[in-house]
Structure 1
């Protein structure tokens, strides 16, 4: 045992792993850990206004750094609040270590204030839940990081028994936290994949979140270019193939997905690369043709209704390279037709009238945000437009939640993005409903002096639910956010608010905001009815 205490050993270990920010709302039990962070250069505690915001921040930090994001919540309500973003990390596939206070041994199972079983609480929303031990601090943290990063990434919960922080700390046994590269796929599976691909006339490639995490953008582009095939993406795979690429056919599940479907419904084979059904189940869009699944985990497919042609489980890059080498000749697709459908999608998502709507606001924002800038977005009708409409040059420049899909994600996501990439322009796009859920996190942007442009599309309407009500011919009830007006005031939590009622005014405010040196809210007063004809289309007949 060393003279280092548990709090110091934990912070030292996190720093050595590359963690630079720990997000949370402190408790008395967390004081020693904060003191350890105060004394160590290169790792800082970021006070959030709500534990849910802290866990969203940890999620996005992990996406941009490749190092597990770290967050903390105290007993009971602190822990339950934290689970919102921990669940997001599970279903959006982000590596995370989520700490919480835990009762000391003598009080576990007793009736006491704020006392619930945190191990049971976190079990359904994590890959693993465990508890820190004083003589195994480094071992437990390295194991947590390994589990978080290995396979499909996700969160690990580590309980911190109160009172342990000041105890002498030990490392435990050595554990490497670097995940191993997946083994190559089975030769028989590779052979079945190749035979199916060679015999198909019009295969379609579907790229998902797993392909982003595997870093196979170059391999995917080489595949579609060699064989002249169209490609569709899930929303969180945006940027894997640029919208300008001749093979790009669109985004599944989001706006005007029925037009995207006019391409993939012609396919006689689906080649799914890193396709994670957490965003959209394959059965929701594939035609009745065989599926080739290239991923690190076996396919999730209803094989009583659909044909699994080959489950190519293993190193994604190696499997795609094998298909490129062995896949035969170019296919029969006419990519001119694909381009015409893509053009129709973008035409229909362009402003159609003099009314200032969300499509015009997004066009102006795309003009003003540098090409390498990061845009985060919240959940709502605007997300469906962004998924289909927002030009994204490469992965990581548009950040959304589409596995967990929690409203309130956009503001903390932007804060985390700016902390992770301080020299990159960052903006967030939010509906007024999602904005209200985590508006308090603006105080973090002010305290940390983060230059972020928060774009609020104010329409006083939970548009997706209102549209669904109208499709059922139900009265509009429970979806208006307010009768009229805007978010109120010229300043929120120290962030100036600029309100626009036209595209020209919106552009002027954005120019000023991006030229500034701190956080700014630019509110666009828009009509939600532009969404009605664009969202909630079926991906297949």
Structure 2
């Protein structure tokens, strides 16, 4: 196939063109330029082995012949969903300025990436997905793993990516590739639109040759914009804040992605306004800052939630106001509460009927600070500041008691068992400030949100937009690849571990030191506790044998996850006491950076909970039931629903 109009052309296959193009893309923000793609994660099958696979091999061999490494290195993953998680964690750790591409074969290889696509888009993290497809020419249908639908001859399993992607295109002919690639880059580098980007590549098209204009492969820098705030919107926001007597800031992930931590610190120090944090925004202020009152919402601190209950103005900065942040719209209890929302995305800025400032968080905060520091500087009353300080001191004391429980707790534990808060406390206290803690699902994300003391802006990484079990190990690998100077502690329960342990093998392959703290509690501890609170008595949440009467209520299963991790090539340290845990953390920290993964296996008591947030989360309970426990839970649910409200008053 030729391109007759090209004045300067190079003949490549579609796959070779994709690889050469990706290697020439850069992102730029504030004058700092970096490669947009750190490499390609993949698993080869018949859909891509002769296309993208051949192109990556050719790229690698050419770089080796020149005496250097490839600009687009390839990493073999073990699970397609997991490799997307790795790319997402890498991109988030780099403030969304750099990511990976992910290539898969057709059929199950492609659909395995759907969960990762949903996670990336929900969390608004850029990742490029290159699922392979069946023959565009349809020469011998149905080919292996092709979906046949009687009503649509052009439908494939890759169409399932459409609702999960921020940009989707299917390249049926080489002529379509340039527009598809440029469209993909536009979305990947847009702080508002970013998420999963999917380019579906039929396996025959990948191998087709074409004469490409050389201009397509010139280096391109994609500017990451900082949309400025309109002066009148800043003035309007300042006017609302000046009327506030009990204002509260909700710091979301947008603070981190815009690099607005210093601007937020200056703003809250100038005004005295206390700061609560979402999961994505945790670490916007570091532990010990006088305005920090910690996590807010269903998994929040009692300090932040008490202030939220009486707040008359809530200043949301880079938050999408998830149900956990608002405690299912119950945490902001003041009937006259108003919202001021600073967000780069207009979609989020108008939530809670807030006065919207659609702008980059850093620039908007700088402008707002200057306006409020005008002729009559705004600052909250000293009494409000003192109240926030007392509330935080009370909560911080509870955290310390949970980290180092007394005999009233430890004497009730079976031999060899610790509490989950003990485990988190030991890791928090013995890790370095720059180390990263990572988690995604179960009860630990909530406990981390409430209890973890963040000492570095990039030291906290909890995926709680999709809360995807199995994210932890591949996510830790992505963070380690993003910054090998930091140790990564992946906190994972046995349920999450069993979902996706295979990327331990990838960590061994890449000699990547990740520290996996594997908390064994014989089941799904988080859902077990939720089940009990909803009157369902922890049904179906524990790893037990089936009894003679057909119920999963027998003895615990003899599952040895430490042996499993060891069999995958990881160094394993088994822990049976608090002292052994401290020694294990020290040994893991001291292990060489190229020594591969270290798994610290520890057993905990799932019935000992962390301090409560005094907040609610809306999970419906059966309206009718024969079980007394369910009926009691529904009555409690009905009472809690009375506090739920819409925030519709104009600000």
Q: TM-score per shorter chain, which class?
A: over 0.9
Q: Secondary structure at the match of 1:107?
A: coil
Using the size of structure 2 for normalisation, the TM-score is 0.77
CA deviation string 1:31-75 (max 9, x = no partner): 223323432423222111111101101111212232133112221
1:536 and 1:104 map into 2 onto residues whose CA distance is 56
CA distance in 2, matches of 1:384, 1:512: 27
SS at match of 2:438: strand
Distance 1:322 1:346 in 2: 33
Q: Which residue of 2 aligns with 1:27?
A: 45
- Per-residue deviation at 1:267? 1.4
Deviation at 1:375, TM superposition (A): 2.0
Equivalent residue for 2:356, pick from 301, 306, 311: 311
Residue 3 of structure 1 pairs with residue 2 of structure 2: no
2:602 corresponding residue in structure 1: 524
The 3-state SS of whatever aligns with 1:2 is strand
Say whether 1:48 aligns with 2:122: no
User: Is contact 1:433-1:481 (8 Å) kept?
Assistant: no
The answer to whether 1:361 aligns with 2:423 is yes
| SS across alignment from 2:113 | helix
Q: How does 1:329-368 map to 2 (within 5 A)?
A: 329-332=378-381, 334-349=384-399, 350=402, 351-352=404-405, 353-354=409-410, 355=413, 356-368=418-430
The alignment status of 1:140 with 2:180, answered yes or no, reads yes
1:275-314 matches, cutoff 5 A: 275-278=319-322, 280=324, 282=326, 283-287=329-333, 288=335, 289-298=337-346, 300=348, 307-308=353-354, 310-314=355-359
Aligned-pair CA distance for 1:315: 3.2
Offset from partner CA, 1:433-479 (integer Å, 9 cap, x none)? 10111111111111111111111111113122111222133332110
Which SS does the other structure have where 2:607 is aligned?
helix
Contact between 2:10 and 2:213, CA under 8 Å: does it hold in 1? no
Matches within 5 A, 1:397-476: 397-476=459-538
Higher alpha-carbon deviation: 166-175 or 2-11: 166-175
Give yes or no for contact 1:68–1:149 (8 Å, CA) kept in 2: no
What's the CA shift string for 1:312-370, capped at 9, x where partnerless?
11233332222111223211253332233223323323233324211111121123322
1:170 aligns to what SS in structure 2? Answer: strand
The DSSP-based 3-state class of the residue aligned with 2:286 is coil
Secondary structure of the 1:399 match is strand
Distance in 1, Cα, partners of 2:610 & 2:489: 25
2-structure distance, mates of 1:130, 1:16: 21
Report deviation, 1:193: 0.9
Structure 2: tracts of 5 or more residues without a match:
1-8, 26-34, 64-69, 148-155, 545-555, 618-639, 644-651
Aligned partner of 1:80 in structure 2 is: 111
Q: CA deviation at 1:232?
A: 0.6
Partner of 2:204, secondary structure, is coil
Rate the CA distance shift 1:459–1:91 in 2: closer, same or farther, 3 A: same
Partner SS state of residue 12, structure 2:
coil
Q: CA separation of 1:484/1:218 partners in 2, compared to 1, >3 Å: closer, same or farther? A: same
State whether structure 2 residue 195 is matched by structure 1 residue 154.
yes
Deviation larger for 451-460 or 350-359? 350-359
**Does the CA-based 8 Å contact 2:84-2:113 persist in structure 1?**
yes
Identify which range, 231-240 or 324-333, moves more after superposition. Answer: 324-333
Instruction: Check the 8 A contact 2:493/2:518 in 1, yes or no.
Output: yes
Q: TM-score, normalised by structure 1?
A: 0.92
Distance in 2 (CA, whole Å) between partners of 1:403 and 1:444 is: 25
Q: Which position in structure 2 is the counterpart of 1:38?
A: 60
SS at match of 1:396: coil
**Aligned-pair distance for 1:538?**
2.3
* Partner SS, residue 446 of structure 2: helix
Number of equivalences: 538
SS of 1:3's equivalent in the other structure is strand
Structure 2 contact 310–332 (Cα < 8 Å) conserved: no
Among 67, 71, 84, the alignment partner of 2:98 is: 67
Residues 440 and 190 of structure 1, relative CA distance in 2, 3 Å threshold: same
Q: Cα offset for 1:86?
A: 1.2
Shift of 1:280: 4.0
Which SS does the other structure have where 1:55 is aligned? helix
Distance 2:21 2:118 in 1: 25
User: What is the distance in 1 between the residues matched to 2:605 and 2:481?
Assistant: 33
How far has the Cα of 1:407 moved from its partner? 0.7
Deviation at 1:492, TM superposition (A): 2.9
| 1:504 maps onto 2:574 in alignment | no
CA distance in 2, matches of 1:8, 1:111: 27
Shift of 1:183: 3.6
The reply on whether 1:487 has 2:516 as its aligned counterpart is: no
Q: Distance in 1 between matches of 2:464 and 2:211?
A: 40
Relative distance call for 1:81 and 1:329 in structure 2 (3 A) is same
SS class of match (1:395): coil
1:205: which partner in 2? 249
In structure 1, C-alpha distance between the alignment counterparts of 2:158 and 2:502, rounded to whole Å: 29
Greater Rg by CA: 2
Cα shift at 1:260: 2.4
Provide the rounded CA distance (Å) in 2 between the counterparts of 1:375 and 1:108. Answer: 51
- Partner of 2:201, secondary structure, is strand
Change over 3 Å in CA distance of 1:252–1:317 after alignment to 2: same
Partner Cα distance (1:108, 1:481) in 2: 49
Q: For residues 376 and 46 of structure 1, what CA distance do their matches in structure 2 show?
A: 22
Q: Report which stretch shifted further, 214-223 or 313-322.
A: 313-322
1:362 is paired with a residue whose SS is helix
- CA distance in structure 2 between the aligned counterparts of 1:397 and 1:302, rounded to whole angstroms: 30
CA distance in 2, matches of 1:219, 1:275: 16
RMSD: 2.6
The alpha-carbon deviation at position 5 of structure 1 amounts to 3.1
The alignment status of 1:235 with 2:243, answered yes or no, reads no
Find the aligned partners of 1:284 and 1:138 in 2 and give their Cα distance.
49
2: CA distance, partners of 1:69 / 1:284: 39
Shift of the 281–263 alpha-carbon distance from structure 1 to 2, 3 Å rule, reads: closer
After the TM superposition, which of the residue ranges 326-335 and 176-185 deviates more from structure 2? Answer: 176-185
